[in-house]
Chains A and B, each alone.
Chain A
């Protein structure tokens, strides 16, 4: 059996299956939904940071663009949600295209510029002068299309597509090319990889994932403020989850979300500052002692982790 099919059967199907079955036995659907969103985002970060090596510190910008693209379609054009969703994701991809010049920067410069870009988009969206278009800082209400069951099912589909993409990257020449770019762009281009094109494709795919996640998130929660969908926490959580599990793998980000987001829901809601403390300390320990994630620990024990 080829590796790619094995990965689909052993990882994609069980994860998606679990999220399909769990709502009937566990009643906190919002929590399950958030788990799915974070798996998507962590995998999206994985695509651009894990495989390509660019740390998107303003990743939430795409999430917010997706959420707002979706909402504005619904509010102004009364579009049905399933049509508004791809348009919202298109908004995120358009933002990604707009930001491609940032690839002229490397390392920390790229991350900082990306963070600034996300904050700039937030400032524009939440500006009171644009109230007629974006509702400014007063937030969005989509009660007309509120349909949690369908939104949950759509999220499930997006999750499956995201995992499918990462499985593909893990087992294809394209994914290998991205990792070569990450290790050494000059050698990669010497080996015949079109560095500029490949990393822009990875970047847009990553934006697409976040845009879809943002759109479906807007649909599911249906009432939110600009600060909700542009909250830096999404970026941070996604990066930390991906890093904790292990970048450039399929299982790593999933493990990271299940363990860390699970921990967050166990202690974070009731005593946020203690959670923040544990979390910060955990991140520091991780970077200092396990910079390649949990998966590297398993590898050290001789397990082959997909």
Chain B
């Protein structure tokens, strides 16, 4: 039971990291709060759902399509919204309200287009991929079904989501620390004014970060039917709060801190579910407030406090 809870917590923790990652990247680079984050996740889930239903594209193969389409949408959306917002007197606060408006628009359009019924993708679809990968490496045919880790059995969908989330984190790490654009992105994160003064095209860097952020949210959406339950147009708000909890625990504005936040969140969530389930829903909020009060800049954040 203990080992099972711990491992399940790790898998969910990786997934929660993926949920928060895009939001944190956007906040870190632009210092704006994307309150529509959960809605982009929802849109990603719907895209994966339709790709599967209409073209029978397996969710795993859909990841690249989903990521690319949202990253491409993110670039113009950035230029449409953010530069204007940053000129305002208090962009951080106003971004709350602006992106709340965007979230309302997305939710409304999705409701008008698809209605409010709940949709899902069969969990076996992810198992097929894992079985195929295992079969490829071991050389003999592997059955499609639950997966054993250290003697504990988990649904294949959980394992697939955890693995993909881990890969996505690795991808963001490589982008930030091994590419030139990532190097510039980190410069903007550290100090926007100085980055402008050094001649960095801040808007281009931010637009890419915004696109990647939306793309990551959408990829997390691909796994939402397996990890968060069925998808509806109204699911965004709850996801947004969860992602906030995750990134605040890790530390706001530090994308890799998200992983720590996700793991802590995932493991404590699983423990609450197993041992104290009637109060489990309270956990994210209490954890969020507690961490904010003890370490306002998050567990990995540097101490920067003004006034």
Measured between beta carbons, the chain A residues less than 8 angstroms from B244 are: 112, 115-116
* A267 CA / B307 CA spacing, docked (Å): 44
* A119 CA / B88 CA spacing, docked (Å): 30
The residues in A between 89 and 110 inclusive whose CB is less than 8 angstroms from any CB of B are 101-102, 104-109
With an 8 A cutoff between CB atoms, is A21 at the interface? no
Which of B27, B282, B306 is A106 in contact with, Cβ under 8 Å? B306
Please state if A123 and B285 are interface contacts (CB–CB under 8 Å): yes
Please state if B248 and A120 are interface contacts (CB–CB under 8 Å): no
The total of interchain contacts (Cβ-Cβ below 8 angstroms) comes to 131
Closest-by-CB residue of A relative to B105 is A280
* A237 CA / B101 CA spacing, docked (Å): 11
Which of B27, B90, B104 is A283 in contact with, Cβ under 8 Å? B104
With an 8 A cutoff between CB atoms, is A239 at the interface? yes
* A287 CA / B81 CA spacing, docked (Å): 10
Please state if B286 and A109 are interface contacts (CB–CB under 8 Å): no
Measured between beta carbons, the chain B residues less than 8 angstroms from A109 are: 248, 252, 292, 296
Please state if B292 and A119 are interface contacts (CB–CB under 8 Å): no
The residues in A between 215 and 246 inclusive whose CB is less than 8 angstroms from any CB of B are 232, 236, 239-240, 243
Please state if B33 and A108 are interface contacts (CB–CB under 8 Å): yes
Range class of the A interface residue count = 35 or more
Please state if B93 and A119 are interface contacts (CB–CB under 8 Å): no
* A104 CA / B297 CA spacing, docked (Å): 11
Measured between beta carbons, the chain B residues less than 8 angstroms from A57 are: 96
Please state if B100 and A283 are interface contacts (CB–CB under 8 Å): yes
Please state if A120 and B286 are interface contacts (CB–CB under 8 Å): yes
Measured between beta carbons, the chain A residues less than 8 angstroms from B84 are: 288
Which of B94, B107, B292 is A276 in contact with, Cβ under 8 Å? B107
Please state if B282 and A243 are interface contacts (CB–CB under 8 Å): no
Please state if A287 and B97 are interface contacts (CB–CB under 8 Å): yes
Which of B101, B237, B285, B289 is A287 in contact with, Cβ under 8 Å? B101
With an 8 A cutoff between CB atoms, is B288 at the interface? yes
Measured between beta carbons, the chain A residues less than 8 angstroms from B106 are: 280
Q: Interface-forming stretch among A25-33, A124-132, A206-214?
A: A124-132
Closest-by-CB residue of A relative to B282 is A123
Measured between beta carbons, the chain A residues less than 8 angstroms from B117 are: none
Please state if B278 and A129 are interface contacts (CB–CB under 8 Å): yes
Which residues on B are within 8 Å of A, measured CB to CB? 27, 33, 81, 84-85, 88-90, 92-94, 96-98, 100-109, 111-112, 237, 241, 244-245, 248, 252, 278-279, 281-282, 284-286, 288-289, 292-293, 296, 305-307
Question: A55-B93, A113-B288, A277-B105 provided; 14 other pairs, C-beta below 8 A?
Answer: A105-B296, A109-B292, A111-B33, A112-B292, A113-B289, A116-B245, A119-B241, A127-B279, A129-B279, A240-B97, A276-B111, A277-B112, A284-B105, A287-B94
**28 A-B residue pairings within 8 Å (CB atoms):** A53-B90, A101-B293, A106-B305, A109-B296, A111-B33, A112-B33, A116-B289, A117-B285, A120-B282, A123-B281, A127-B278, A186-B307, A273-B108, A273-B111, A276-B105, A277-B108, A277-B109, A277-B112, A279-B101, A279-B104, A280-B104, A281-B101, A283-B101, A284-B98, A287-B88, A287-B98, A288-B98, A291-B94
